[in-house]
């Protein structure tokens, strides 16, 4: 926990709001999306989905292929507790909704469905997008598939699969407007593997979001490697997320933004 506290203090020291941003592209993103205070009606749908999960007393056996949990000591977990402690927070779900609404991606890939909280935000952000969400745990995937259908998020398809195997064997999309949300395995090795496997799909309009970039020293190392990759031109560190862009017209620049 101590490295995380140090990382957060460093983040606060280096972070800026819109007044410290001189890139027009990033300034617009921060002011029109990150700091958009509109009370969207879709936030109610996000809240209802979350409330349904928080009321569930059902227990499932979770198969964890990632870096493990800091909260749960057993693989038998109550759905309500997974939603409360391991799912995307309400604030972050609303931000993910706004980012999706802002960029209007044609296709979305989510690596790590869990119970579908983030998936619902992606779906509401652009109901016309084709969403593929990957989940390794069969029981968790089963819950997500059922609830996404129940709440009408029909543009989201959940694949129960091991992530790297899927990325190696599938014909991955190269649609011009694409968003990828990496939230499936918080280890340096896996994160960089997914990064390399997906690089052939990038276009100038691609947006990638990496979750928990300060989760561990290893994840911070992975984030530094990603930032310095020659194909990446703009990165934004929001502490919870690392957002990257491949815009050829932009000078390479790294931003640390409070959201």
For residue 172, what pLDDT is reported? 79
User: CB 8: neighbour CB atoms within 10 A?
Assistant: 13
Record the pTM: 0.93
How far is the C-alpha of 160 from the C-alpha of 142, rounded, in Å?
9
pLDDT digits (tens, 9 = 90+) for 81-121: 999 998 899 999 999 999 999 999 999 999 999 999 999 99
| Span between the terminal Cα atoms of the chain, in Å | 22
Residue 199 DSSP code: G
How far is the C-alpha of 215 from the C-alpha of 233, rounded, in Å?
24
Q: Residues of the chain with pLDDT > 70: what percent?
A: 95
pLDDT digits (tens, 9 = 90+) for 158-217: 999 999 999 999 877 777 789 999 998 889 999 999 999 999 999 999 999 999 999 999
């Amino acid at each position: 926990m101590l490295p995380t506290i140090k990382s957060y203090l460093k983040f606060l020291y280096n972070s800026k709001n819109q007044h410290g941003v001189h890139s027009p592209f990033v300034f617009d993103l921060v002011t029109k999306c990150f700091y958009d205070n509109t009370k969207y009606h879709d936030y109610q749908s996000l809240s209802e989905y979350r409330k349904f999960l928080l009321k569930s007393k059902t227990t499932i056996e979770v198969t964890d292929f990632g870096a493990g949990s800091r909260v749960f000591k057993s693989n038998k977990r109550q759905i309500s507790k997974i939603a409360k402690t391991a799912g995307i927070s309400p604030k972050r779900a609303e931000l993910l909704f706004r980012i999706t609404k802002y960029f209007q991606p044609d296709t979305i890939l989510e690596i790590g469905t869990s119970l579908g909280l983030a998936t619902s935000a992606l779906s509401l952000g652009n109901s016309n997008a084709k969403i593929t969400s990957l989940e390794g745990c069969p029981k968790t995937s089963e819950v997500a598939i059922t609830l996404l259908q129940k709440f009408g998020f029909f543009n989201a398809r959940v694949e129960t699969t091991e992530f790297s195997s899927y990325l190696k064997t599938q014909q991955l999309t190269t649609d011009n407007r694409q968003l990828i949300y990496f939230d499936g395995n918080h280890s340096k090795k896996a994160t960089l593997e997914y990064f390399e496997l997906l690089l052939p799909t990038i276009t100038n309009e691609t947006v990638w979001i990496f979750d928990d970039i300060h989760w561990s020293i290893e994840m911070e190392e992975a984030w530094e490697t990603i930032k310095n990759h020659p194909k990446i031109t703009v990165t934004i560190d929001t502490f919870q997320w690392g957002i990257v862009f491949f815009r050829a017209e932009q000078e390479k620049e790294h931003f640390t933004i409070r959201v």
